Chains A and B, each alone.
Chain A
Amino acid sequence: MEAFTTHTGRAVPLRRSNVDTDQIIPAHWLKKVTRDGFEDGLFEAWRKDPGFVLNQPRHAGGTVLVAGPDFGTGSSREHAVWALQNYGFKAVISPRFADIFRGNSLKNGLLTVVLPQETVEQLWNLAEGDPQAPVTVDLEQRKVLADGIDVDFDLDENARWRLLNGLDDISLTLKNETAIADYEARRPSFTPRTQAA
């Protein structure tokens, strides 16, 4: 996984709540068997509208997506995270994320930042007024900084540590081989098996 320490870029204001994963990447894109090439599928239906924020030249090249509450609801498709990353986003800010989406993001090094609705509105106004305004998402200090904005955000220490160091969860878990094998040895005999081991 790519490490995330701090990132400065321009914000893209997505004034919508309940942005579900079917909107982020529609189902027909999920037939791909790779992790890349999803950028054209990102918000595919909404991008048909020339007025959609991603189609506005003034917001081109933005890397911090700022959305309303309940971003990433719906399906578990990690393709939603890949699509945002393939398109160039490094961080997403929202007052509330769906659990699975948030977990998927953190595993891929896409930082999800929970900020209060007021700050989200401030960021929307800032980016709409001046699309070039820089926004910094600093994971080391756990802060979002922009013109007139200096707010702290929460992220649990363990997730932060893994992100800062770009650590691969599987390697970390495999260090606990003994604990896993011990657990396996104590499982009751009535637990189901799909086939002989």
Chain B
Amino acid sequence: MTTGTDVARFQVGQGASASSRLRAAPDATGPSRLDAVGVSAWFGDNLVLDDVSLSMPAATVTALIGPSGCGKSTFLRILNRMHESVAGAKLAGEVLLNGADIYDAGHRLTDTRKQIGMVFQKPNPFPAMSIADNVTAGLALTGTKVSKGDREDLIEHCLTRAGLWSEVRDRLGTPGSALSGGQQQRLCIARALAVRPRVLLMDEPCSALDPTSTRRIEETIGELCSEVTVVIVTHNMQQAARVSQQAAFFLASQGEPGAIVEHGATKDIFEHPSDPRTADYVNGRFG
């Protein structure tokens, strides 16, 4: 288990594509690098995550894998300050967005969440809003004004990026809740993209969906990673192997807090894991 000073970081540059992407330094609006440094988390007095450090390079897809209850979703929610919305939740450590700590007093909570978007396990479009209004909901929530023409362009752009445009272009005025589960999830991705985040966190985005919808969303993730850094929690090993360039394996032993056992290029984690527990997990022997 990786604890204490045994802080593990990604060896960026293990994959040629990852390193070349990283060298193209992210600009102010492009995908950003996200670093978690010594992150621990508590619910009440219960330590659920112990001293986790992980670098998520810009414009790559990082998969967080591990059995249930190992703290990977908690870790994900710490990355955009959603963790603290739960009563009794506490945390330690730093999360650096392009080097700046998002928990710093100078950082506004709402700005942080705008820059680091999130897609949830269960599709959660706003049911009272039309498809178009759902896409632009983030703009209304953050008080961002756009002209009518820009708004239409943005709706088309985001729905296209989320792979939903062709299916809904003729019924943008209908309620978002009338879509199928997979379409709703892609609408949620479009909604998250509309505020132009630098990082997109995805918490098991396909676990409630059928295989066809899952494949569409995986394609979407593949297309997105050039413009946004993606961090995805998944229980699906094949999915992690398909969509991510890097992976981190979380594990919590009985009665112990969760921590990262191993991380690195996804290929290495799946084909040559260095820790026997990782090998057991990715080969389906437990979890």
Partners in one complex: no
Please report A residues at the B interface, Cβ cutoff 8 Å: none
Please report B residues at the A interface, Cβ cutoff 8 Å: none
